[in-house]
C-alpha cells in the first residue's frame, strides 16, 4: 500500500519535472503578439483604428520576423472595458495582463489605450519582463519621475510611440493662446489619471503663456447633469473651454451642455481622448456631438502629417475600406517596433520562449537603436519615451466623412525644435 502510494507520487513528480523541463527546452517557433484595448462603448471608437493599424503592419511584414511566425489570433485581443460602464476599467486591464504574461507564447503586448489602465498593468508586465508598447498612453507619470519608478521592479519593459501630456497639454494651451487668440479659459476634467493629468499640464502652460484660467472644475464619469455646471461656467465668461478626458468620461456630454447654456460658439478644445473618429464612427465624440462640434479642436500626441502618410492612408483604405483616424498610424508603428525587436532578438537564436521574451524586451528598450517607423524615426530613451515630441492639432471639418463631420489636421508643434 505504502509502496503503491510512493510509486504514484514518484510517477507524478517525474511527469511534472518532465513537463517543466520540456517547455523550457523547446526552441520557440510560433509566437504571438497580444493586443490589449477597450473594445466597448465610446472607447471602442478609438481602439478599432489601432487594431486595424497593427494588423496592417503585421500583414505587410508577412506575418513573420526574425525567423518566427507571428500571429495575432482573435484570442490574443483582450478587452479592458466593462459592459456595465461602457468604458475602460483598470482592474479588468490588470486581469487581462495577468492572463497575457502567463502565456509564454506572447512576446509582446500592444496597448492599452488609457493611462489609468496602463498604471495598473505596468507592474505586472514589468515583473514578467514582457515588452509592452502603447500606441496611445500619454500620462507623464507612466514613464517619468518617482511614480514611474514605483511601478517598475525590473528593467524597463514599457515603451510608447506617442509623446507625453506634459507636451500635449501645453501644445493645446499655446494653440489657444497664440493661434486662436483666446486669453481666458474654463477647464473641466474627468478626475481620471489621464484627464486630470493633461488638464493640469494645460493649466500650467496656459498661465505661463499669460492667459487666465477662470475655473478648473472636475466632474467624474458618472455625472449626468452637466447643465448646471456649465451654467455656472458661463457666468465666468470664459473665451474657450478645455476638457481633460476622453469621450467615454463625458467629453460629448459637456459640449452638449455647453451648447445649451450659450457657450456653444466658443472654442471647445480637448486632448486625444476626443479625437476618436469622424461623425460616422459610432459613439465617437463627433458622432455624439453632431453639429454642435462646430468650434471643437483636439490634439493628438503624435504627428498628424508625416512622410509616408499618403501611402499609409491609401494602404489602410485599400485594406479596410475606410479612412484611417486617430491613432491608427501609432498602432502600425507599435507593431513595426515589436516586429523589429523580435527580428533583432531572434538573430541570437534564443533557446527558449523565456529567453526570447527577455531578448525582445532588451532589444526594444535599447536606447541606442533607431526605428524607422511609419510616423518617422523613433528612438526610445531610458524611460521608454519616444524621441518624437510632436503634438498635432485638429479642427472640426463639417464637410468631412461625407457631411457627417471629421477632424481636419491644422498644424503640429514639435517640442524638440524649440
Partner 1 sequence: MTATSPAVAASNSLTRGLRVIGLAVGAILIYLLVLWRALEFASELTAGNTMQGSLIAALTRFDDVGNAYLAQALQQTVNALSIGAIYALIALGYTMVYGIIELINFAHGDIFMIGAMLAVVFLGGLLHQQEAVNNIPILIALILGALVFAMPIVGLINVFIERTVYRPLRNAPRLAPLITAVGVSFILQNIVLTIAGSGDRASPQIFPLDAQIPFGGAEISILSIFIFALSLGLMLGLQNFVGRSRMGRAMRATAQDQSAASLMGVDLNQTIALTFLLGGMLAGAAGVAWGLRFGFVRFDLGFNSGLKAFTAAVLGGIGNISGAVLGGFIIGFIENFASSLGFSRWSEFLVFMVLTFVLIFKPSGILGQLTGDRA
Reduced to 3 states (helix: H, G, I; strand: E, B; else coil), residue 350 is: coil
Name which position in 32, 253, 344, 361 contacts partner 1 (CB under 8 A): 253
Subset of 349-408 contacting partner 1 (CB under 8 A) = none
Q: d(Cα 37, Cα 96) in Å, to the nearest integer?
A: 10
Half-sphere exposure of 319 (CA within 13 A, CB side): 19
Give the nearer residue to partner 1 in terms of CB position, either 138 or 284.
284
Of 299, 295, 271, 274, which Cα lies nearest the Cα of 286? Answer: 274
Q: Is 152 a binder of partner 1 (CB under 8 A)? A: no
Minimum distance of partner 1 from residue 84's CB (angstroms)? 7
Give the nearer residue to partner 1 in terms of CB position, either 69 or 212.
212
Q: Is 20 a binder of partner 1 (CB under 8 A)? A: no
Q: d(Cα 151, Cα 276) in Å, to the nearest integer?
A: 29
Q: Is 229 a binder of partner 1 (CB under 8 A)? A: yes
Name which position in 290, 343, 398, 400 contacts partner 1 (CB under 8 A): 290
Give the nearer residue to partner 1 in terms of CB position, either 35 or 46.
46
Q: Is 231 a binder of partner 1 (CB under 8 A)? A: yes
Minimum distance of partner 1 from residue 287's CB (angstroms)? 7
Give the nearer residue to partner 1 in terms of CB position, either 31 or 256.
256
Subset of 50-89 contacting partner 1 (CB under 8 A) = 81, 83-87
Q: Is 228 a binder of partner 1 (CB under 8 A)? A: yes
Buried/exposed code over 148-186 (b: 16+ C-beta within 10 A; e: otherwise): beebbeeebbbbbbbbbbbbbbbbbbbbbbeebebebbb
Minimum distance of partner 1 from residue 247's CB (angstroms)? 8
Minimum distance of partner 1 from residue 45's CB (angstroms)? 8
Q: Is 185 a binder of partner 1 (CB under 8 A)? A: no
Q: Is 261 a binder of partner 1 (CB under 8 A)? A: yes
Q: Is 283 a binder of partner 1 (CB under 8 A)? A: yes
Using the structure block, give the residue that is written with the C-alpha cell 506575418: 63
- Is omega for the bond preceding 223 within 30 degrees of 0, making it cis? no
Name which position in 224, 318, 321, 417 contacts partner 1 (CB under 8 A): 224
Q: Is 105 a binder of partner 1 (CB under 8 A)? A: no
Give the nearer residue to partner 1 in terms of CB position, either 204 or 261.
261
**Given phi > 0 = left and psi -120 to 50 = alpha, else beta, which region is 67?**
left
248 close to 41: Cβ distance less than 8 angstroms: yes
399 close to 411: Cβ distance less than 8 angstroms: no
Give the nearer residue to partner 1 in terms of CB position, either 45 or 328.
45
Reduced to 3 states (helix: H, G, I; strand: E, B; else coil), residue 377 is: strand
Who contacts 130 (Cβ-Cβ below 8 Å, separation ≥6)?
A: 100, 101, 106, 107, 108, 109, 157, 357, 361
Of 171, 30, 41, which Cα lies nearest the Cα of 114? Answer: 41
Name which position in 34, 248, 375, 393 contacts partner 1 (CB under 8 A): 248
Cell numbers for 264, please give them.
456653444
| Residues near partner 1, by CB under 8 A | 40-42, 44-45, 81, 83-87, 191, 215, 217-220, 222-229, 231-232, 235, 247-248, 252-253, 256-257, 259-262, 264, 282-283, 287-291
Amino acid at each position: 500500500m505504502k509502496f503503491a502510494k510512493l510509486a504514484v507520487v514518484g510517477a507524478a513528480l517525474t511527469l511534472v519535472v518532465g513537463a517543466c523541463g520540456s517547455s523550457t527546452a523547446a526552441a520557440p517557433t510560433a509566437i504571438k503578439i497580444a493586443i490589449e484595448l477597450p473594445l466597448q462603448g465610446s472607447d471602442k471608437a478609438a481602439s478599432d483604428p489601432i487594431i486595424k493599424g497593427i494588423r496592417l503592419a503585421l500583414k505587410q511584414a508577412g506575418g513573420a520576423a526574425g525567423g518566427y511566425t507571428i500571429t495575432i489570433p482573435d484570442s490574443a485581443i483582450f478587452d479592458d472595458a466593462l459592459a456595465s460602464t461602457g468604458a475602460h476599467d483598470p482592474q479588468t486591464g490588470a486581469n487581462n495582463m495577468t492572463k497575457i504574461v502567463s502565456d509564454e507564447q506572447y512576446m509582446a503586448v500592444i496597448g492599452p489605450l488609457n493611462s489609468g489602465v496602463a498604471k495598473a498593468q505596468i507592474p505586472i508586465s514589468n515583473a514578467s519582463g514582457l515588452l509592452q508598447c502603447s500606441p496611445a498612453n500619454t500620462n507623464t507619470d507612466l514613464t517619468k519621475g518617482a511614480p514611474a519608478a514605483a511601478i517598475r521592479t525590473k528593467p524597463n519593459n514599457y515603451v510608447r510611440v506617442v509623446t507625453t501630456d506634459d507636451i500635449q497639454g501645453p501644445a493645446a494651451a499655446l494653440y489657444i493662446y497664440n493661434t486662436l487668440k483666446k486669453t481666458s479659459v474654463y477647464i473641466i476634467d474627468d478626475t481620471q489619471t489621464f484627464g486630470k493629468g493633461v488638464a493640469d499640464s494645460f493649466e500650467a502652460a496656459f498661465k505661463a503663456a499669460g492667459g487666465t484660467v477662470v475655473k478648473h472644475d472636475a466632474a467624474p464619469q458618472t455625472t449626468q447633469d452637466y447643465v448646471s455646471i456649465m451654467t455656472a461656467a458661463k457666468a465666468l465668461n470664459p473665451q474657450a473651454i478645455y476638457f481633460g478626458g476622453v469621450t467615454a468620461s463625458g467629453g460629448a456630454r459637456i459640449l452638449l451642455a455647453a451648447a445649451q447654456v450659450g457657450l456653444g460658439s466658443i472654442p471647445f478644445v480637448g486632448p486625444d481622448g476626443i479625437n476618436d473618429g469622424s461623425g460616422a464612427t459610432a459613439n465617437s465624440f463627433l458622432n455624439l456631438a453632431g453639429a454642435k462640434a462646430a468650434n471643437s479642436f483636439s490634439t493628438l500626441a503624435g504627428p498628424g502629417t508625416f512622410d509616408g502618410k499618403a501611402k499609409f492612408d491609401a494602404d489602410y483604405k485599400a485594406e479596410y475600406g475606410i479612412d484611417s483616424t486617430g491613432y491608427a498610424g501609432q498602432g502600425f508603428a507599435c507593431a513595426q517596433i515589436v516586429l523589429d525587436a523580435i527580428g533583432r532578438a531572434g538573430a541570437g537564436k534564443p533557446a527558449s520562449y523565456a529567453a526570447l521574451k527577455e531578448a525582445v524586451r532588451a532589444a526594444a528598450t535599447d536606447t541606442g537603436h533607431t526605428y524607422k517607423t511609419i510616423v518617422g524615426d523613433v528612438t526610445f530613451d531610458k524611460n521608454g519615451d519616444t524621441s518624437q515630441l510632436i503634438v498635432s492639432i485638429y479642427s472640426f471639418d463639417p464637410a468631412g466623412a461625407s457631411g457627417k463631420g471629421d477632424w481636419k489636421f491644422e498644424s503640429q508643434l514639435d517640442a524638440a525644435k524649440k
